[in-house]
Every structure is written in structure tokens, then in C-alpha cells.
Structure 1
Amino acid sequence: MTQTAPPATAADLPPARRRALTVLVVSQVLGGAGMAAGITVGALLAQDLLGSTGLAGLPAALFTIGAALGAAVLGRVCQRFGRRPGLALGNGIAALGSAGVVAGAAAHLPLVVLAALFVYGAGTATGLLARYAGAELAPPERRGRAAGTVLFAMTLGAVAGPNLVGPTGTLAHTWGIPRLAGPFLLAAAAYTAAALVLLMGPRPTPPPPARPGPPREAAAAPGTGPRGPLRARPGLITGATVMITGQLVMIAVMTMTPVHMNGHGHTTQAVGLVIALHVGAMFLPSPLSGLLTDRLGARRVAAAAGAVLPGAGLLASLAPPASVPLLACALVLLGIGWNLALLSGTALITDAAPAENRAAVQGLADVGMSVAGATGGMASGLVVGSGGYPVLAAAAGALALAVIPAVALRGARR
């Protein structure tokens, strides 16, 4: 009787891959702190500089449009030159954009700040692209957990970042810089350090060979060429749909939550706490989500995201504006739903993409996410300006239901 081989563990990775994964994790911790700065105060900074709530979603739109361009370019850089130089370049671009935001805010030049937010966004694409690098360092049966580990590494920095709004704002004020630009000082330092860690660390080795066994559920259709039509690889369509929907819903609600709270008299520290809990929920469950993706299958995890995201939107729309706990619960659910959508979509795309141009295909999938995020960020300000935050949250929750038929259609095709 043939025995089934036990699942691979981290110790099964060759030493070079373990070191490469460690470097990737450290860079993600630093990058998480930089990413959280823009999420927490970007909308508030724009509102302060432009004097308009309706335009408060513009920063989210700009740095997600930048992330779309960054994902496409960095994906091709990773494909041609390798993951390490591509990710290091992305972190360097994010550091440059962060410094530009600080300079523009100090000079009270809104156009400079907005242009710098675009550059900053192009660099922040690195944080999500890194999950693909983590997945390729592990055997196929552990890709979900490996990608989850890389995303989890962002948690420490991403949770600490919003809670440093006060101290970094004070530091900025002592230097004659607007307080809301303070977190971008942290972002510039954190992204610079992340780029240096990647440049000085060991080079990642090629992905391990696939182990014998049944193909995963999202594998490419038999007989399909590596550059065959997209419809021949339905896993790509399903994975992209799940990730894009989750990104659009999450960005739309998250972007306007600080503005909504600020408009109802909540302090900057209260806003920072809610966003910190949200960002923590985006990344903290990653190991569990990755494990569930490996064990239960990406389709089931994607369906779970299609249930959690609408619940988050409904709770946010019904929460009294004065209730920080209920708003925090809604944002935590929003983060969890996004995490489930991201990791399940990542698994579907990684398994379906042809090996010889996988990095470029993954980059294009993240372009779709960034475009969706830009749409959600820009539209969110307009919706809140005309109908209010509850309308935005309810509409976003209803849109998230689109994940379920997409997953069901994939199951019917199988």
C-alpha cells in the first residue's frame, strides 16, 4: 500500500530559499509601515489641502492608479531581471514618492502632493507583488501558506504605522511641516530600509519543482498552450474577478471611513485606531487564509469572501456615526473579507498562469486590482458627498455579492 507523503514544512525548503524568504519577510515588515501611512492620512491630507470632502477620495484614486502602473512595470521587471531587483526598485519608488508628499505639504503645493501620491502608489504595488515571490519559494501544495506568510509579515508594520500618526505628526510640526504629512516621513524611511534589505540580502532561487500528485483545482486546462486565450484558462478570470471585486469594495469603504469619523468629531487617534484594526485584519489572518486555501481549495475560500464582504458593508452602513466599536468591527470584517479574496485569487492565478511568463501575468492581475481600487477611491468621495457614508457602505456590500456567482460559474465550468 502506497503511503501519502506528509505535507511540506518550512524546514523542507533548501537553506537558500529559507534565507530568501527571511529577507522577503523583513522587507515586508518595513514596507507595511510605509503603506499604512498613506492609508491613514492620505484622504485627510487631501481634504486639508484642497478644502473639499468631495475630493477627499482623490489621493486613494491617485496612488491606486499609480499602483496599477507600478504593478504592470514591476511585474515585467521581475519577469526579466528577477524578483529581488524588481521588489527593491518598487520600494525605492515608494520612498521617493513619500519624500515628495512631505516636500509638497511643507511648501503648501497641493499639485506636488498629488503627483507625489501617484509615485508613492506606484511603489506600494511592491507589497502585494511580494506575495507571488513567497508562493514561488514553496512547493505547490504550500503556496497558499507561503503567500500568507509574506502578507502576514506586513502586519507588524501596517498595524504600527497608523498608531504612529500622533508622534510623527508632532515630529513634522517641530520641523515646520504640516502634522498630517508626518506619517509620510515614516514611510520614506521605512521604504528606503526595505529596498536596502532586498538589495543586500541573498538572491531568491528558482521555484521548487512540482511534486507528483493530483493537479490543484485551478490548474490550466489540458492541452492549453502557455499563451493560449484567456478563456482557455478560466482560473485566471475567476481569480482576477475575486481579487478585483474585493479590492474595489475595500478601498471604497476604507478610504472614506477616516473622513466620515472626522466629520462626526472623532479624534485623529480614534481614526488611527480604527484603521490600524482594519489593516491588521487585512494581513493578520493571512496564515490561516493560506492554510484554508491549501486545504479546502481556493474556490471555497473565495466564496467565503463573497459572504464576509457584504456583511462588512451592511454593518458599516448601519453603524451609528458616534460608535467607534461598531465602525471598528465593520472595518475588521472588511479587512478579513479582503484577505480571503486576495489569497484565494492569488492561488487561482498562480496555478493557472504559464510558468514562462507568470510574473508578468501576475503583474497584470494586480493592475486590474489597482484600477478597481482607483475607481473605488475616486467614486467613494463623490458618493459620500452626495448620499453619505451609509449609502457608500451599503452599495459596496451589495457589489461584493458578485464574487459568489463568479466562483459558482468557475465550479460549473470544472
Structure 2
Amino acid sequence: MSQPGARPAQATDASAPDVAGVQRRTVWVLSAGQVLGGIAFGATLSLGAVLAAEVSGDDSFSGLAAAAVTLGTAVLAVPLAAFARRFGRRFSLALGMAIALVGVVLVVTAVGLDLFPLLLVAFLLVGGGQAANLQSRFAAVDLATDASRGRDLSIVVWATTIGAVLGPNLTGPGEALGEAIGMPPLTGPYVFTIVGQTLGILLYLIALRPDPLLTAQRVVAARGAERAAEAIAKVDRPALARYAIFAVAAAHGVMVSVMAMTPVHLLHHGADLTIIGFTLSLHILGMYALSPVFGILSDRVGRVQTILVGQAFLVAALLTASFGQESTTAVTIALMLLGLGWSASTVAGSALLTEASSEAMRTRRQGFSDFVMSIVGAGGAIIAGFVLGWIGYGGLALVVGVAVIAVVALSPLARGARAVPLRG
């Protein structure tokens, strides 16, 4: 434990120029980690619904794969945030990916043994990787300023594009590789998942130094680093934070509900795994590719305004999916728009949550936001499977639009209440 006399040294180490340097390094390391995590999660995402339907023998259970992943993300979000608060982002991110690695191995085992309950437990653990990926966007702004918070967060989100778009397109080569080494049918792509998770763990443990969250805590505590502390410590605004949490969760619920049912819908319309993988790749491209644009937009125009831009994209996506459900092209366009809506809402909402929370409350609220976001996604995926069987894909797209209406309706309560830097 540090002695009182060590405080001046910490203040010197945490000076503003050093903080800026640590922040730049952090963004690059997290971006590389998101590439690896994207490859791992993209391969998982494209096959989850298909594997659940195959092993269970009932298409109605196809949504349980995405539900289990998002539920696992929710269950692990708060503990990982608390772990990060105490031990730093480096160990927290590595731990989340390690849990997911165990889950991936169990997925392959469950398919080989034809055990549906084990498959659901495995996907639950895979949620650890998604929890780590979500936490990365908050790690990107531990040391960010108001002027660059949206941009820095969005760069890390954008980096997921590379791996996430590549991941689903590895289903074909992965299946051939899996067959060559004797893996159960449809599980070959998980070879790439295992490699991506392993490399991500090593990257975080080795390269994420100094730890951004621990550095931020030290800066705020050090009285000699007033300029840097101003940029990190914020006035606590719980009402604004609650709106940010709601907006992020609602967008995620809409996205997961429609996206989770798309592979099954396309499969029933004659699409093969290659087409499904390509469609999901374009969806994920929409989720991440333009995130820097939305990050810069939220920095310059406003967080709430950018959230509303996201809602406009979601409305366009849901209408396209509903009225074009018989067309693979229309469904693909809808999924791209869905990704864009999620991206704008998540980037701006996450930046808004960080600005609306004091340093003491920030990590706790970030973990709670990921928890709520994932619970909503899990519930949406579970319900979506039954809604799909009841009123079809087009009906599902219209039903989830209620969440979009709620975000827009509540926006006047938060519009104009932008967080501002603390003044000395």
C-alpha cells in the first residue's frame, strides 16, 4: 500500500502529458484487442442460432443461443467492472476473454455429445468475451477529455469491424478445417475463435500497461495534477446517466431481437451458411465501420442528438425488414441499417454515461449499463424466437419498434443537459 509520502511522486507521474501518452497507447492496444475479439465473436455469432436449432431439434429454441450469450454478458458485466475497479482493466479484460475461451471449448464438446443444456451453459460462458468487448469501449475513455471522448471510444468500437466482418466469413474455411481435423459438424469455425481469444488474452496482459483505469484513479486522487484531474473527474448527473443507460439498452434490445432471428429466417428462405455469414458480416460492418463518424458527431453536435440519429436508422431498418422480409437483399439492407442505428446509439450513449457520472460512480454505472443492456438483449432474443413463430419476421420487426418510440419520447428530458468540464 502506498504511503502518504508517495502522493507527490504519484502526482508527478500522472501529469497531463503522461496521461495523454497513456491514453494514446491505450486506444491502440484496445483497438488491436477488439480486432481479435471481433474475429472470435463473429464466428460464434454466425452459427449460434443454427447450432441451437440443430442440437435441440426445434427452431423455436434457436434464439436461446443469442439469449445465453447476452445473459452471460449480463451476469459477468458487473463482476468484471468491480474486478476492473480493484485490479485494473488489464486483468479484467483478460479474465473475460479467458472465460469465453472455456465456453468455446464447451460449445464444441456439447455439439459433439449432442447435449443441448451443456450448449446453453457454454454460450453463457461465451458471454464473458462479449462483456470484455463491451468494457473495452469504457476503457478507451478512462483517460479521455470531453473534446475527444466520443472519438476515442468510437475508434475502439470501429476496430471491431475488421475481426467482426472477417469472423462470419470464416465459416466456410472453418468448416473445411474442422472436418479435416475431426471436429463435430458446424463447429469448425470455432478454431478461429479459440485462436482469437487466446491472442487477445495475451495482448491485454502484456501490452495494456500502464493500466488506464488505475491511472485515472491515481490522477483524480493526486492533488498536484489539477489539469488532468479536471478532464477526468465529472459532476455526477444521475438522471442523465439513467437516460444514457436506457438508450443504449433499448438500441441493443432492438438489434439483438431482429439479428438473432435473421439466420433462421434466411435459412427457411433457402439461404445457405455462406449467404447467412455474408449477411451478418454486412450487419456487423454497419455496427462498427462508421462508429468514428458517430463519435465525432457526438463530440461536436451532442450526445443526445446523436442518439436520436441512431433511432432514425433503427426505424428505417425495422420498416425495411418488415415490408421486405421475403427478399434476401432487403433483409441484408435492413441489417446494415440496424447496425448503424445500434452504433450511433451505443457510441453516443456510452460517452454520455461517462460524462454524466463522477469518477467514483463511473465504473459501477458502466458495469450496470452493460448488465441492463445484456439482460434486455437476452430477453429480446428469447421472446423473438416465439414472436417469429407467431407473427413472422416482419411482425417481429414492427413489435420491437416500441423501444425506439420510448427512447425518442424520453429524449426531451435529457436534451440540452450535456455534461461540461469541471472548472477549477
Is the pair's TM-score, using the shorter chain for normalization, greater than 0.5?
yes
**1:203 corresponds to which of 184, 207, 210:** 210
Work out whether 1:333 is the aligned partner of 2:337. yes
Residues of 2 paired with 1:141 and 1:156: CA distance?
Answer: 26
Residues of 2 paired with 1:12 and 1:324: CA distance?
Answer: 51
Residues of 2 paired with 1:102 and 1:203: CA distance?
Answer: 36
Name 1:97's counterpart in structure 2: 103
User: In structure 1, what residue type is equivalent to 2:359?
Assistant: A
Q: State how 1:71-220 maps to structure 2 within 5 Å.
A: 71-201=77-207, 202-205=209-212, 206-207=215-216, 220=235
Mean alpha-carbon deviation: is it higher for 16-25 or for 186-195? 16-25
User: In structure 2, what residue type is equivalent to 1:358?
Assistant: R
Name 2:378's counterpart in structure 1: 374
Residues of 1 paired with 2:226 and 2:150: CA distance?
Answer: 14
User: In structure 1, what residue type is equivalent to 2:80?
Assistant: L
> Is the Cα–Cα contact under 8 Å of residues 140 and 211 in structure 1 kept in the other structure?
no
Q: How far is 1:38 from its partner? A: 2.2
Work out whether 1:26 is the aligned partner of 2:24. no
Relative to structure 1, is the Cα distance of residues 215 and 20 closer, same or farther in structure 2, using a 3 angstrom cutoff?
A: closer
Residues of 2 paired with 1:300 and 1:215: CA distance?
Answer: 22
> Is the Cα–Cα contact under 8 Å of residues 67 and 378 in structure 2 kept in the other structure?
yes
Residues of 2 paired with 1:400 and 1:210: CA distance?
Answer: 41
Q: How far is 1:21 from its partner? A: 2.4
> Is the Cα–Cα contact under 8 Å of residues 84 and 199 in structure 1 kept in the other structure?
yes
Q: How far is 1:139 from its partner? A: 2.0
Q: How far is 1:210 from its partner? A: 8.2
Name 1:293's counterpart in structure 2: 298
Q: How far is 1:316 from its partner? A: 0.4
Q: Give 3-state SS (helix, strand or coil) of 1:135's partner.
A: coil
User: In structure 1, what residue type is equivalent to 2:257?
Assistant: A
Residues of 2 paired with 1:150 and 1:92: CA distance?
Answer: 20
Residues of 1 paired with 2:19 and 2:231: CA distance?
Answer: 21
**1:383 corresponds to which of 375, 378, 387:** 387
Residues of 2 paired with 1:48 and 1:300: CA distance?
Answer: 43
Relative to structure 1, is the Cα distance of residues 413 and 359 closer, same or farther in structure 2, using a 3 angstrom cutoff?
A: closer
User: In structure 1, what residue type is equivalent to 2:358?
Assistant: P
User: In structure 1, what residue type is equivalent to 2:145?
Assistant: P
Residues of 2 paired with 1:51 and 1:304: CA distance?
Answer: 40
User: In structure 1, what residue type is equivalent to 2:320?
Assistant: L
User: In structure 2, what residue type is equivalent to 1:249?
Assistant: V
Deviations 1:345-402 (A, max 9, x none): 1011101112023212201111000000001110110101111111101112343221
User: In structure 1, what residue type is equivalent to 2:410?
Assistant: A
Relative to structure 1, is the Cα distance of residues 358 and 398 closer, same or farther in structure 2, using a 3 angstrom cutoff?
A: closer
Mean alpha-carbon deviation: is it higher for 402-411 or for 26-35? 402-411
> Is the Cα–Cα contact under 8 Å of residues 145 and 231 in structure 2 kept in the other structure?
no
> Is the Cα–Cα contact under 8 Å of residues 96 and 119 in structure 1 kept in the other structure?
yes
Work out whether 1:397 is the aligned partner of 2:363. no
Deviations 1:302-344 (A, max 9, x none): 11112211211110011142x2221111000000000011011
Residues of 2 paired with 1:358 and 1:210: CA distance?
Answer: 19
Name structure 2 gaps, 5 residues minimum.
1-16, 220-224, 419-424
Q: How far is 1:413 from its partner? A: 7.2
Q: Give 3-state SS (helix, strand or coil) of 1:136's partner.
A: coil
> Is the Cα–Cα contact under 8 Å of residues 325 and 393 in structure 2 kept in the other structure?
no
Residues of 2 paired with 1:299 and 1:18: CA distance?
Answer: 26
User: In structure 2, what residue type is equivalent to 1:264?
Assistant: H
Query: After the TM superposition, which parts of structure 1 deviate over 3 Å for at least 4 consecutive aligned residues?
Result: 11-17, 207-212
Residues of 2 paired with 1:25 and 1:369: CA distance?
Answer: 22
Q: How far is 1:215 from its partner? A: 9.8
**1:306 corresponds to which of 302, 311, 325:** 311
Q: How far is 1:161 from its partner? A: 0.2
Relative to structure 1, is the Cα distance of residues 16 and 66 closer, same or farther in structure 2, using a 3 angstrom cutoff?
A: same
TM-score, normalising length from structure 2? Answer: 0.88
Residues of 1 paired with 2:19 and 2:340: CA distance?
Answer: 29
Deviations 1:139-173 (A, max 9, x none): 22101000001101111000000000111111112
Q: Give 3-state SS (helix, strand or coil) of 1:141's partner.
A: coil
Residues of 1 paired with 2:227 and 2:200: CA distance?
Answer: 33
Deviations 1:48-75 (A, max 9, x none): 1111111110111111110001111111
Residues of 1 paired with 2:116 and 2:272: CA distance?
Answer: 24
Work out whether 1:406 is the aligned partner of 2:407. no
Mean alpha-carbon deviation: is it higher for 77-86 or for 99-108? 99-108
> Is the Cα–Cα contact under 8 Å of residues 105 and 177 in structure 1 kept in the other structure?
no
TM-score, normalising length from structure 1? Answer: 0.90
Q: What count of residue pairs does the alignment treat as equivalent?
A: 392
Residues of 2 paired with 1:398 and 1:111: CA distance?
Answer: 32
Q: How far is 1:176 from its partner? A: 2.8
**1:361 corresponds to which of 349, 362, 365:** 365
> Is the Cα–Cα contact under 8 Å of residues 31 and 154 in structure 1 kept in the other structure?
yes
> Is the Cα–Cα contact under 8 Å of residues 312 and 397 in structure 1 kept in the other structure?
no
Q: How far is 1:412 from its partner? A: 7.7
Name 2:238's counterpart in structure 1: 233
User: In structure 1, what residue type is equivalent to 2:241?
Assistant: L
Name 1:258's counterpart in structure 2: 263
